[in-house]
Structure 1
Amino acid sequence: MKQGITPIDVENTFGKDEIIVSKTNLKGHITYVNDVFCRLAEMPEEEAIGAPHNVIRHPDMPRSIFYFLWQQIQSKKEIFAYVKNMAKSGKYYWVFAHVTPTIDADGNIVGFHSSRRAAPKNEIDLISKLYDEIRSVEKSYSNSKQGMEAGVDYIKNLLLDKGMTYDEFVWSVGD
């Protein structure tokens, strides 16, 4: 879906009591979506199932944020993150995501589960400025891998300066 979609500066919104739910397999392909996901992504369930989850990734998202996400969930830990997603029309929607690995009875990761709520406007304002800074660092490198690594270093240094872990920082945004 994402290929050829031009982002537009129009927001899809959803209620503070609504939750977007999706599940993926180990390769990040969607295995389940709820109706809120379908409505916001502007995609029928039949189209979403089997698609890579990054089909809703907005180009404003720094790659290094997803690095942190994957590091956590592949270590069998949950992560919370602010994410800007993109609908099929190019509209955007901000979420506060809770992503967890799905573990089988033998302790193996068999997939991933994400529940997302609407992110409050004041938190989006702060996070979007930070993400702009991180993207600027990433884009200052012609090699995308080096750019992502520089973005990760930028985040690590920011957290070090604040004396916080990633989780502590995310939870402090609303304070």
Structure 2
Amino acid sequence: MRRFSLQTLALIVALVAVAIGWWVDSSREPQIYYLHYYSNRYRPSHDLYHPDYDAPLPNSINTRLATIAISPNIPFRAEFPNGYDPTITISGTLTRSGQLFSGTVLIDVQDPGAAIEFDHATPIPIDTLVPFFDSSHHLAVSRNPDPYSLKYDVGQLN
């Protein structure tokens, strides 16, 4: 009889531990980050939320073209038709390790003036713009949904 009660007690303890683990995991806030895509091929007036939206600037500075919410280790895909002004598709999976995200981001941009398809595979530090293609395009991963909270003006296209 004693052996049965110890087994029962062990089963109850295991079930309680699983229930507590499930509750802690389900009540924990998910890790949400924002993948911002910028280009200095577009003027600030291209993005209604750009801080210099109304400023008459002679040259283009980085303008946000897309922002998507992502979570580490979960595949993502977003399509922005935009009537080829530009049409953007972003997909991939990123893994977080400390202050770096690594993995692959596939970026396809279709524009009447240019089209690029790029597989970005270099690490992306959190809250830092990382250039790709011809350095006129940048990616950033941030906890902040505001793309202009980062240092977004990293130089102009020559």
State the TM-score, normalized to the length of structure 2.
0.29
More strand by share: 2
State the TM-score, normalized to the length of structure 1.
0.27
More helix by share: 1
